[in-house]
């Protein structure tokens, strides 16, 4: 079947919740993807920050195949070794104390919200606690996660949400402070906002919120779903500042292609929040998903993934800064490591479409921002290749605009 025929078929059977790019992807190898016609694409999106190890990593694939042949699923009524190993590893790397595995990022956010509410409930027995989240944040599409997502257009048709959510501005401590009440149980934000346009938290803000939280026994929840798992050069972006959250959520690159998520908490929350019967999942933490997590950590270490992010991320930043300086359409570059955004003074969609034509996969983060989330194993040569194509696209669009 032709690509066009597949796309027509897809549009007749799938619910149209995405305006997809007109490409049917077929296979991947390293930092390249191939469509069903065999056209090759350099991937600077990695399935929205998922495929950190690149595609078709043989050791990763072999580990998954071996676990399939052994045991796929047990339910959480029993223990399984991969889940124990994965939790130990997460605990060691994050310094958090307790782990709950989920199937997705949104579910991890749901769990974090429940843990925070229960923590507050155990303190005062009340059920009217508030959470402070941020404008322009993104935490997922389920009702709880949506309720703390600071983009009104995502929420509007689905109101009412879970309620008692107040939105402040990232990096504006005063805006958090003036929303704190005696009902506030948690402050939640992404350490680097992803969908909202690649906005890293400032150290001052993070420190300020942490201090406020400690002073008033409010929980700090950090969403590391997109910016975590090495993307900014540390396993988790907050580790750069040495400021630990009370609860942290992870997903995306945690499984590198297998759908997993997790929420983690310190012992204070672990001992005084969700207890037996309070929360659960059928699939979450199953041996297959957890075998993936274990292998991901093993391969990160073996392949020096964090070192690569720090080296290539610095190079990428330099190249993007140069591009921004020499192209008036670009307002600024933002980001850290291999999580970068380029803000244009106009819609980014034409550049993204032109790049796709030329075999480069890019995504946006808001209408005017190109978001770069390459596999974490990318090298300098691929950065050069990406910059070359993007520059061509910018020039090409300039010509088109003139005519």
Ligand X SMILES: *Cc1c(COP(=O)(O)O)cnc(C)c1O
CA 281 to chain centre: 21
Binding site for ligand X (CB under 6 A): 104-106, 109, 138-140, 190, 194, 223, 225-226, 251-252, 261
Least distance (Å) between residue 140 CB and ligand X: 4
CB 325 within 8 A of CB 333: no
Return the number of the residue (196 or 393) whose C-beta is nearest ligand X: 196
Parallel/antiparallel/unpaired status of strands 184-190 and 130-134? parallel
- Looking at the Cβ atoms of 248 and 294, the one nearer to ligand X is 248
> From the CB of 15, what's the least distance to ligand X, in Å?
16
Angle at 106 (CA atoms; ends 290, 262), nearest 5 degrees: 30
Nearest distance in Å: CB 233, ligand X = 17
**Shortest Cβ distance from residue 194 to ligand X (Å)?**
4
* Nearest partner of 148 among 175, 108, 119, 93, judged by Cα: 108
CB-facing half-sphere around the CA of 180: CA atoms within 13 A: 19
Q: Which is nearer to ligand X, 32 or 335 (CB)?
A: 335
Q: Which is nearer to ligand X, 111 or 261 (CB)?
A: 261
Neighbour count for residue 259 (Cβ, 10 Å): 17
Nearer to ligand X, 260 or 389 (CB): 260
Please identify, using beta-carbon distances, which residue of 199 and 354 lies nearer to ligand X: 199
Q: What are the φ and ψ backbone dihedral angles of 317, each rounded to 5 degrees?
A: -55, -45
Read off the tokens for 281.
Answer: 């999942």
Q: Minimum distance between the CB of residue 175 and ligand X, rounded to whole angstroms?
A: 20
CA distance 207 to 205: 5
Q: How far is the CB of 370 from ligand X (least distance, A)?
A: 16
Q: Which residue is closest to ligand X by CB?
A: 105
Order of strands across the sheet that contains 261-265: 98-102, 261-265, 247-250, 219-223, 184-190, 130-134, 165-168
User: Which CB sits closer to ligand X, 133 or 330?
Assistant: 133
CB atoms within 10 A of CB 79: 8
Closest distance of CB 384 from ligand X, Å? 27
C-beta of 106: minimal distance to ligand X in Å?
3
Kindly list the distances between the CA atom of residue 75 and the CA atoms of 67, 104, 186, 285, 288, in Å, as whole numbers in the listed order.
15, 17, 30, 8, 12
Indicate the residue among 251 and 377 with the shorter CB distance to ligand X: 251
Dig out the tokens for 347 from the structure.
Answer: 């819609």
């Amino acid at each position: 079947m032709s690509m066009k025929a597949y796309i027509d078929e897809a549009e007749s059977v799938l619910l149209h919740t995405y305006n997809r790019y007109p490409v049917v992807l077929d296979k991947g190898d390293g930092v390249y993807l191939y469509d069903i016609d065999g056209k090759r694409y350099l991937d600077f999106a990695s399935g929205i920050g998922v495929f950190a190890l690149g595609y078709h990593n043989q050791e990763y694939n072999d580990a998954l195949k071996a676990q399939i042949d052994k045991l796929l699923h047990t339910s959480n009524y029993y223990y399984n070794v991969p889940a124990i190993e994965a939790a130990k590893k997460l605990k060691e790397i994050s310094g958090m104390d307790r782990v709950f595995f989920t199937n997705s990022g949104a579910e991890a956010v749901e769990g974090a919200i429940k843990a925070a509410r229960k923590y507050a409930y155990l303190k005062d027995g009340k059920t009217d606690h508030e959470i402070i989240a941020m404008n322009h944040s993104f935490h997922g599409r389920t009702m709880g996660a949506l309720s703390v997502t600071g983009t009104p257009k995502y929420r509007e048709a689905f109101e009412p949400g879970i309620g008692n959510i107040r939105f402040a501005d990232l990096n504006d401590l005063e805006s958090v402070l003036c929303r704190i009440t005696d009902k506030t149980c948690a402050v939640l934000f992404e350490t680097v906002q992803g969908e909202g346009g690649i906005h890293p938290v400032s150290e001052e803000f993070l420190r300020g919120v942490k201090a406020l939280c400690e002073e008033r026994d409010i929980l700090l929840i950090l969403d590391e779903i997109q910016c975590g798992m090495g993307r900014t050069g540390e396993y988790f972006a907050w580790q750069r500042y040495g400021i630990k959250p009370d609860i942290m959520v992870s997903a995306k690159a945690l499984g590198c292609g297998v759908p997993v998520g997790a929420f983690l908490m310190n012992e204070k929350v672990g001992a005084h929040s969700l207890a037996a019967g309070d929360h659960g999942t059928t699939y979450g933490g199953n041996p297959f998903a957890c075998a993936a997590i274990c292998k991901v950590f093993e391969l990160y270490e073996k392949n020096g993934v964090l070192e690569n992010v720090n080296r290539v991320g610095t190079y990428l930043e330099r190249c993007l800064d140069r591009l921004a300086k020499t192209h008036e359409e670009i307002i600024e570059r933002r980001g850290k490591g291999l999580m970068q955004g380029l803000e244009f003074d106009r819609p980014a969609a034409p550049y993204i479409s032109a790049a796709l034509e030329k075999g480069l996969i890019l995504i946006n983060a808001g209408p005017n921002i190109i978001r770069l989330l390459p596999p974490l194993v990318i090298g300098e040569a691929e950065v050069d290749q990406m910059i070359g194509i993007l520059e061509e696209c910018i020039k090409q669009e300039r010509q088109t605009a003139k005519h």
